[in-house]
């Protein structure tokens, strides 16, 4: 049996860590985490974690490589202070698109990150909606991939939209979109697109399904530069969709995402706070759902040895 729950955070998303602590009704544990002028990262815990059950909250968000190093150094610090168990809570896992060799002479960076997290000393990991599910197999330590699906589904059900159709913005998102369509008792449509080489710009080619006169809900795991999403939004409006809603777990919103989304005929953009979305990135039609209660409840269950899977069996 481990000691008390201790929640630590790096500098990536302290707001989320505070929300998780509010849910658990425990204080956030203190640590000095800063970067020297030479860009070396320094960490010092404010108190001992010997024998404690430690959860470290650190999404791999911008600046990505700095936050990854912070994560690894903090894990190492906790390990060297004899923490009883260390769980790396990584709401957003970067490099998830680099999950296989899809062309010659390229790395599998997601596997490298899994190895680094284990080597640093993590005993478990927690993440939300991986871009590629097989990344779970890159870890030799136990872990849980959570999903924001139920949070998103419940929000959409509360909106009470009628005549809905769920749309996958590309073929790769079809399975997740189909699950949402089933949960909302709505039909499914798919936007077929094609990429050319390593060009991040995707071109929508055709629509499988019917959206005319319907409220279209585009469902994907993340929005980065918003090229795929805004192509789909414009394409659906041209195909006769009444209103278009976009739903995604991770709002990365790399440039020029905000400009694209501002100009798109989009009724509402629904994201979660797996990564911080600062005020300057918030659009008037943006809704942000908090994953803190989900993470807080899962942390509680892991600590007390209660099934995590049972939380999603509904």
Q: Annotation-wise, does 173 bind a ligand?
A: no
40 carries a ligand binding annotation: yes
H or E stretch at 283: none
How far apart CA 114 and CA 222 sit, in angstroms, is 20
DSSP string, 197-255: TT----EEEEEES--TTSEEEEEEEEESSSHHHHHHHHHHHHTT-SEEEEEEEEE---T
Annotation says 100 is catalytic: no
Flag whether 227 is marked binding.
Answer: yes
Cβ atoms 15, 291 nearer than 8 A:
no
Q: Is 225 annotated as a binding residue?
A: yes
Is 110 marked within a binding site? no
153 labelled binding-site residue: no
- Residue 192 annotated as binding? no
Which residue among the candidates 193, 214, 242, 281 is catalytic per the annotation? Answer: 193
Beta-carbon contacts of residue 294 (< 8 Å; ≥ 6 apart): 128, 146, 148, 151
38 marked as part of a ligand binding site: yes
**Among candidates 164, 204, 197, which has minimal Cα distance to 182?**
164
| DSSP conformation letters of 51-78 | T-EEEEE----SSHHHHHHHHHHHHHHH
Residues contributing to the annotated binding site: 38-40, 131, 170, 195, 220, 224-228
Annotated binding residues for Mg(2+):
131, 170
Residue numbers belonging to the annotated binding site for ATP: 38-40
- Show which residues are catalytic: 193
Q: Which residues are annotated as a binding site for D-ribose 5-phosphate?
A: 195, 220, 224-228
């Amino acid at each position: 049996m481990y000691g008390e729950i201790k929640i630590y955070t790096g500098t990536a998303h302290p707001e989320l860590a505070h929300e998780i602590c509010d849910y658990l009704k425990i204080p956030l544990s203190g640590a000095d985490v800063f970067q020297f002028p030479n860009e070396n990262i320094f960490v010092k815990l404010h108190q001992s974690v010997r024998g404690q059950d430690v959860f470290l909250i650190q999404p791999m968000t911008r600046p990505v490589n700095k936050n990854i190093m912070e994560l690894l150094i903090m894990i190492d610090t906790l390990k060297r202070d004899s923490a009883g168990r260390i769980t790396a809570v990584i709401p957003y896992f970067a490099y998830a698109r680099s999950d296989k060799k899809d062309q010659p002479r390229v790395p599998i960076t997601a596997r490298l990150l899994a190895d680094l997290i284990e080597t640093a000393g993590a005993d478990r990991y927690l993440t939300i909606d991986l871009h590629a599910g097989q990344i779970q197999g890159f870890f030799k330590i136990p872990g849980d991939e959570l999903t924001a699906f139920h949070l998103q589904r419940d929000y959409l059900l509360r909106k009470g939209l009628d005549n809905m159709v769920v749309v996958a913005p590309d073929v790769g998102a079809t399975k997740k979109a189909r699950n949402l369509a089933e949960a909302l008792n709505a039909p499914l449509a798919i936007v077929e697109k094609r990429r050319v080489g390593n060009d991040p710009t995707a071109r929508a080619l055709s629509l499988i399904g019917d959206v005319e006169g319907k409220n279209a809900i585009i469902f994907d795991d993340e929005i980065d530069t918003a090229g795929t999403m805004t192509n789909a939004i414009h394409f659906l409006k041209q195909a006769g969709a009444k209103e278009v809603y976009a739903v995604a777990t991770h709002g990365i919103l790399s440039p020029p995402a905000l400009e694209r989304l501002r100009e798109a005929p989009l009724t509402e953009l629904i994201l979660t706070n797996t990564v911080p979305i600062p005020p300057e990135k918030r659009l008037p039609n943006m809704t942000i759902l908090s994953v803190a209660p989900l993470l807080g409840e899962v942390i509680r269950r892991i600590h007390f040895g209660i099934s995590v899977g049972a939380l999603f069996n509904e």
